[in-house]
Amino acid sequence: MLRIGVDVGGTNTDGVLIDLTRLHEPNRGVLAHFKAPTTPDVSQGIEAAVREILKNADVAATSVSSLSIGTTAFINAVLEADARRLAKVAVIRLCGPYTKQCPPFVDFPARLRALTEGYVGYVDGGLQIDGREILPLNEDQITEQCNIIKRKGLRNVVICGVFSPLDNDGKQEQAAAKIIRQVLVGQVGFLERENASILNASILTFAQRTIRGFQAAMKVLNLTCPLFLTQNDGTLTTAASAARLPIRTFASGPTNSMRGAAFLAGLDEKQISQQRKSIIVADVGGTTTDVGVLLQSGFPRQAASFIEVGGVRTNFSMADVQSIGLGGGSRVKVFETPQGRTVVVGPDSVGHYITRDAKVFGGDILTTTDIVVANGRADLGERSNVARIEPEVIEKASKVMKKQIEGIIDKMKTSPEDITVLLVGGGSIIAPEQLAGVGEIIRPPFFGVANAVGAAMAKVAGEVDTIEILQGRDVHEVIEGIKAQAIEKAIKGGADPATVRVVEVTNLPVQYVTNEATRIIVKAAGDLAPEVVAFVSSIDDALDAEDIANSIEDDKTVLTDTVEDVAVDIETYTPNIRPDRSWSISELDLKWIADGCGILGTVEAALTIAQVVDPDDIAEDALFLRCMFMGSPSVSIERVQGGNEIPTSIRRLMTYMNLDDFTGVISDEIGGGNGIQPMLVAAEMGKKVLDADLMGRAYPNMYQSLPGAFNIPGGLWPCAISDGVGNTVVMPSASTPKMVETVLRSATTEMGSRSGVSMSPLSRKNCQKYGVIRSVSQAWRIGRAVALCQKRNNLKGIPAAILGLQNGACLFVGKIVDVQREVRKGFTWGQVTIVPLLEDEEEDAGSVNATAPAYLPDDRLVIPFQNENLYAYLAAPDGLQKMLATVPDLITVIDSQNGTALGTPDYRYGLRVTVIAMAADPKWSSTPEGLACGGPTAFGLHDVAFKHIAQYREPVSVISEYAPA
């Protein structure tokens, strides 16, 4: 049984022929392989590769059982915003009243949006996190939308429903698809799933045309076997499925390389699993080294939940791959400095011109390949051409190359233990025989075409990603049922039942819920079944039946009438302060405020226009209603707010309290997404936003605000919550502040685990007395400071810039080496451990802050957390612990390599981080009430004493600074 695998990369097209009956042999069944430059017409390049492989192996085309292709053609159409290949798309959301504050295409780059945005419609439908309907599907509404789409002449349509992955019975999206035939990509994450579907629909026509081209090439070669394409997760899909869901094939190259490397090394899934640890694969090309992690399942570790493609956030699976500018063609430059000779390697490269430009091949450019040949570690070209390279240059260049490879491998590790590394790629000869932190280096045969081998040997998978309510159920029985579903999906996809097994099980409890909602992801995979061949061929014949002549593309055209994204010079930008001293918030202002909220908590973004006012400009009896959301973050990424949840709760509370009007709104917490909710509500209701909040940070519990801490009349009740679909709860009173949290949290769970909250209005006088004034200004200034440092490529200056706005200290600069988490009573508890950077790591991490205190190499910084960071202590090797900072002072962890704040869910091994602490408002830190509510004892830490990190500095008003004279 013969299989052909072809992987089309940006530079080269690789092909391989494998005999499945000879996998036990040292060459792993590889009969022939081929590498050639990628051609503009992908089909022609594939045809040439396959023809050469068959010729070299002396094999008849009719004896080949399958052809598997990995291609970048579809993703390139998006990255290049190619008008020939992208079609306009109509989007229909099944959402009821939700999601309208984040409409489709909202985060698309301007040029891509102009090419793809056709129409947007909202209809009843959607599900809650527990699977209940938000509203029943309304077929009349869908018919009305179809008529509009038809009049606009649009052919590609996306239907996207809130929590549609939970609709296992197809009551909504599938019912709507009977009217509009469009099946969607399906993981949790509403906007990202919708974006993936939009891109998918936009390239459908081009994808079908391309795949017909592949099939035409097969006919020319007399290949009668079925055609498969490899998907991003390393599994196979039929040509017909790929023509329907091309987005799932966008970036299969790295995954193919990793799985191909394991196959060539003789490591099947069982052997990898027996190692009880992950394996790192380093694919060294001519320009870059791409590093990924092969899990015990035999599949690559997946990247973050959301991936950007062409500037658009999507949710499809992709291997977690990190790259550095080091390859076989990387240039080596030598500089004379006062300190001596310095050698720099990369990131620029001669690329595929290496056989022309490298010294060892007769060129005049010093490359990494020249270094390894001169060092006697490789035998290429003419060694005499590199005989005159000075030993000092060889030694220093070799050290730099070794250090770069060690650095990127260490960044991808999940523990400090030594790990096995598979080296593949044509440039892998530059890697040394030994690497720090690596126990074993394996260079498999045919390492130059590992990506094509991965394509040929790809498996068929089935995945189920769902949220289950486990209250009153046996979790093991639930998971076993989902396993069975995943196995069934894999078999239906063409996997051999005898080889299918479950390879991944992920169990993620949902935070801030009381019904034990849990996201469960199960993946099963198996070998391609031989008997599936005839079935696949019959499906693909229907795709191939269209006239190939109709697939000829026009010449590439440049879109010239698109409004491009307008860049703002942040160096000279000033906020718009009106003559009445109200601050009109722009998009840039809001971005900076949101980024500042991220430093003060965890952030979710939004766009709006609102007016902020300074407390000193408002009458002391003016009323400000408090507004925020409560519920699970897992709901907010799917059931995006519609804009009426908080306003509805405000109106119901006003009715209950017989209030006719109010001046504006204020947030309970400036930290995180709730810090920008007042902007949205003020814009919706025509009110002002007070430059203040009631925490100065973020806390996990509703009662942990200053009015709650001081238990003032009207501090927490009456209050109201609403879900935006007609359900509202008004709470007139409570026996204790904590009961407000308990009662409303339970009611919010019944509302789908997310509700808009309005709390008893406070006078401006009380907002000032029991709040943190000018915290909106502070968030803006922090966001602006971070943006300026990023623009100036001065990431190391970010901590100092933040601490220049609020007194505090830089506690630690280092690398995360351990993260522990568990969900208890709806909250995520855990701790993160950080170690100092080594000297050579400090040189790489250009973000290291010179103001950070020096610690011994064996010291550790430990930060326990409960959704928010609670305290930070220094742990010495002898067991002594030194407390550095605790709540209510704010402890913030910043990603040293990009300057962004990390929330506790973002902590992972290998991240370079900078930890700072900022002083809390004295209402928290210098009063018994504040410490009891927001200090260590509030979190059960009775043996942790609070110690001020610094004296609090009152934020400077943006309005006062920039107001017209």
Could you read off the pLDDT of 317-366 as tens digits, one per residue?
A: 677 888 888 999 999 999 988 888 899 998 888 877 888 999 999 999 99
Q: Is the pLDDT of residue 150 over 80?
A: yes
| Residue 758: pLDDT band with limits 50, 70, 90 | very high
Cα three-residue angle 415-417-420, rounded to 5 degrees: 105
pLDDT digit string, tens, across residues 462-482: 888 888 888 888 888 999 999
Region 130-159 average pLDDT: 88
Q: Is the pLDDT of residue 382 over 80?
A: yes
Strands lying side by side in the sheet with 30-37: 30-37, 12-19, 2-8, 64-71, 227-230, 236-238
Average pLDDT, the chain: 85
pLDDT digit string, tens, across residues 483-535: 999 999 999 888 899 999 888 888 777 776 777 788 888 989 898 887 665 44
Q: Is the pLDDT of residue 132 over 50?
A: yes
CATH number of 808-939: 2.40.390
* Of residues 142 and 271, more confidently modeled: 142
Region 248-258 average pLDDT: 83
Residue 624 CB contacts under 8 Å (≥ 6 apart), including other chains: 662, 663, 664, 665, 666, 690, 761, 762, 763, 764, 767
> What is the distance between the alpha carbons of residues 766 and 768, in angstroms, rounded to a whole number?
5
Region 859-874 average pLDDT: 92
| Residue 549: pLDDT band with limits 50, 70, 90 | very low
State the pLDDT at residue 927: 97
The DSSP-derived string for 827-847 is EEEEEEEEEEPPHHHHHH-TT
Polymer length in residues for the chain: 965
| Residue 10: pLDDT band with limits 50, 70, 90 | low
| Residue 839: pLDDT band with limits 50, 70, 90 | low
Q: Where are the domains of the chain?
A: 1-81+204-266+444-458+529-553, 87-202, 460-527, 576-777, 808-939
Q: Is the pLDDT of residue 838 over 80?
A: no
| Residue 414: pLDDT band with limits 50, 70, 90 | low
| Residue 184: pLDDT band with limits 50, 70, 90 | very low
For residue 126, report the phi and psi dihedrals to the nearest 5 degrees.
Answer: 90, 160
Residue 699 CB contacts under 8 Å (≥ 6 apart), including other chains: 669, 705, 868, 934
State the pLDDT at residue 74: 78
Q: Is the pLDDT of residue 849 over 70?
A: no
State the pLDDT at residue 274: 58
pTM above 0.85, yes or no: no
State the pLDDT at residue 602: 41
Q: Of the given ranges (368-372, 501-505, 859-863), which has the lowest mean pLDDT? A: 501-505
| Residue 104: pLDDT band with limits 50, 70, 90 | very high
- Is CATH 3.30.420.40 the classification given to domain 1-81+204-266+444-458+529-553? yes
For residue 933, report the phi and psi dihedrals to the nearest 5 degrees.
Answer: -90, -35
State the pLDDT at residue 97: 93
Q: Is the pLDDT of residue 146 over 60?
A: yes
Radius of gyration of the chain (CA): 30
Neighbours of 222 (CB within 10 A): 11
Q: Is the pLDDT of residue 798 over 80?
A: yes
State the pLDDT at residue 681: 93
> What is the distance between the alpha carbons of residues 897 and 848, in angstroms, rounded to a whole number?
9
Q: Is the pLDDT of residue 545 over 90?
A: no
* Of residues 884 and 143, more confidently modeled: 884
What are 222's two structure tokens? Answer: 């007399």
Percent of the chain with pLDDT over 70: 89
The DSSP-derived string for 872-904 is EEEE-TTS-EEEEEETTSEEEEEETTT--EE-G
For residue 531, report the phi and psi dihedrals to the nearest 5 degrees.
Answer: -75, -5
Cα three-residue angle 209-310-412, rounded to 5 degrees: 115
Region 783-806 average pLDDT: 91
Listed ranges 185-189, 322-326, 935-939; the one with the highest mean pLDDT = 935-939
Residue 77 CB contacts under 8 Å (≥ 6 apart), including other chains: 85, 86, 203, 206
Region 394-408 average pLDDT: 93
State the pLDDT at residue 850: 45
CA distances from 49 to 4, 6, 225, 286, 330 (A): 10, 8, 16, 20, 27
Neighbours of 658 (CB within 10 A): 6
The DSSP-derived string for 589-633 is HHHHHHHHHHHHS---------EEE-GGGS-TT-EEEEEEEEE-H
CA distances from 215 to 222, 235, 767, 883 (A): 10, 20, 69, 67
Check if the beta carbon of residue 775 is closer than 8 Å to that of residue 544. Answer: no
DSSP state at residue 437: T
Check if the beta carbon of residue 35 is closer than 8 Å to that of residue 99. Answer: no
Listed ranges 288-292, 342-346, 617-621; the one with the highest mean pLDDT = 617-621
> What is the distance between the alpha carbons of residues 669 and 771, in angstroms, rounded to a whole number?
10
Region 437-449 average pLDDT: 90
State the pLDDT at residue 788: 94
Is-cis flag, bond preceding 888, omega within 30? yes
pLDDT digit string, tens, across residues 420-441: 999 998 888 999 999 988 999 9
Region 280-292 average pLDDT: 88
Check if the beta carbon of residue 729 is closer than 8 Å to that of residue 720. Answer: yes
Cα three-residue angle 638-644-645, rounded to 5 degrees: 65
Q: Is the dihedral of CA 473, 479, 482, 484 positive or negative?
A: negative
* Of residues 74 and 310, more confidently modeled: 74
* Of residues 188 and 427, more confidently modeled: 427
Residue 433 CB contacts under 8 Å (≥ 6 apart), including other chains: 377, 441
Percent of the chain with pLDDT over 90: 46
Check if the beta carbon of residue 874 is closer than 8 Å to that of residue 822. Answer: no
Check if the beta carbon of residue 111 is closer than 8 Å to that of residue 81. Answer: yes
Please, where are the H alpha helices in 462-616? 475-492, 532-544, 587-600
Q: Is the pLDDT of residue 95 over 90?
A: yes
pLDDT digit string, tens, across residues 219-236: 999 998 989 999 888 888
Domain 576-777 adopts which CATH fold? CV3147-like fold (3.40.1610)
State the pLDDT at residue 679: 92
State the pLDDT at residue 33: 93
